[in-house]
Structure 1
């Protein structure tokens, strides 16, 4: 999260205002801060589109702003990544490594496997040859759901997606398609396959003791700071002019 206040720039502009203009300052400050936050949001999105490999719409739509309020003693506007998600991992969490650098946190899929005792607490699941990727380079959600279901790894007790030994499950034949374990000295999630010459397995995820390391791709706070310093002065003067013009029409 980045907060925009810029009291110093406000003070500089105030020194050049007359009494009439000063009456519109609270409105103008709030409007200018909000518009500056919108510009900063656009700037961060431009960098994300440029540096991320096929970012998903969810990722690009995860950036939010908090508009400034004229009633606040010290108005501010904020730019932030949303920290909630109905399903999956919130953007504020999974984008952290790209914004700050360092190791990525464990994903919900990995935490589910750990809770089921299928993966060690310090391991990470890395996509392998059997992973089906979507247009954005991520493992398809349908396959992840199939794996969690087959491994009885959904967190909710009694969740319908946890497959059982019912007649329907046996008929679908999906419960035995995936399994977690070690094959040839490699731990992971595997998929059973039938070939013309027999049966075999291929890895869908392999378990690693090392967390993937990320370098900073989107210096979020620096982008917001640079945009704010470059744009706020002009936005504030424009907001003052707009307020005076609007007041004159009443």
Structure 2
């Protein structure tokens, strides 16, 4: 969270009486306008450091607006994503929590090893943002009997109904294939099927380096924008004063 505040008492000494009356509302407007500038800065940073950030990522933060009594605004994580959002790790570095998919695989999959993380491999099908596609993710969980809702797991009847040409997903036992989820497509390789690795299992969480630089950049935006925003807000307050 980045807090924005301003004490207008020193500024009031150089103002006329009528202007001093408008300082609280002008300060409130200026803080809120500057908070929006900070939010836009953060979203522009995401375009630089991330490859095709999703709307979910870019909308992870919002402005908590100042009032005339608090004279304090903030840019902070939305409550719905703040506790688990991966942007925290991109800001501070370190390891992240397990994703929902990783939790399902680690607890429901018949697998002898430890699954701390499941990382998309070169054979994973990606969406337009470069993330693992939801369609293939659901197919994997369903075929591996790891769906959160067990009624959506694949059954013998649903497998027969979909036919034999659908790609099959599996986790190899001891053998020549590396740990993870593999896809076998029908045809090719002398009719044994084409193999592609979809997920790589690791027994430790990946460690992220600091990369977003949100808080440092936010202070720079505040320093550069607040005075200009305050002058504009005070002029507006004077025009609309009763």
| TM bucket, shorter chain | 0.7 to 0.9
Shift of 1:133: 1.4
Shift of 1:37: 0.2
- Unpaired segments of 5 or more residues in structure 1? none
Other-structure match for 2:80: 84
Shift of 1:143: 0.7
Other-structure match for 1:140: 133
Match of 1:170 among 148, 160, 183: 160
CA gap of 1:233–1:118, structure 2 versus 1, over 3 A, is farther
**Contact between 2:108 and 2:146, CA under 8 Å: does it hold in 1?**
yes
CA gap of 1:6–1:184, structure 2 versus 1, over 3 A, is farther
Other-structure match for 2:47: 49
CA gap of 1:198–1:68, structure 2 versus 1, over 3 A, is same
**Contact between 1:154 and 1:162, CA under 8 Å: does it hold in 2?**
yes
Shift of 1:55: 1.4
1:2-39 CA-to-partner distances (Å, cap 9, x unmatched) read 111133xx333223222211212221121111001001
Aligned-partner Cα distance in 1 for 2:72–2:171: 50
Aligned-partner Cα distance in 1 for 2:6–2:145: 53
**Contact between 1:93 and 1:105, CA under 8 Å: does it hold in 2?**
no
For the residue of structure 1 that corresponds to 2:38, the secondary structure is helix
Aligned-partner Cα distance in 2 for 1:92–1:3: 21
Aligned-partner Cα distance in 1 for 2:135–2:205: 24
Aligned-partner Cα distance in 2 for 1:122–1:189: 12
**Contact between 2:183 and 2:196, CA under 8 Å: does it hold in 1?**
yes
- Unpaired segments of 5 or more residues in structure 2? none
Aligned-partner Cα distance in 1 for 2:85–2:104: 17
Q: Does 1:60 align with 2:58?
A: yes
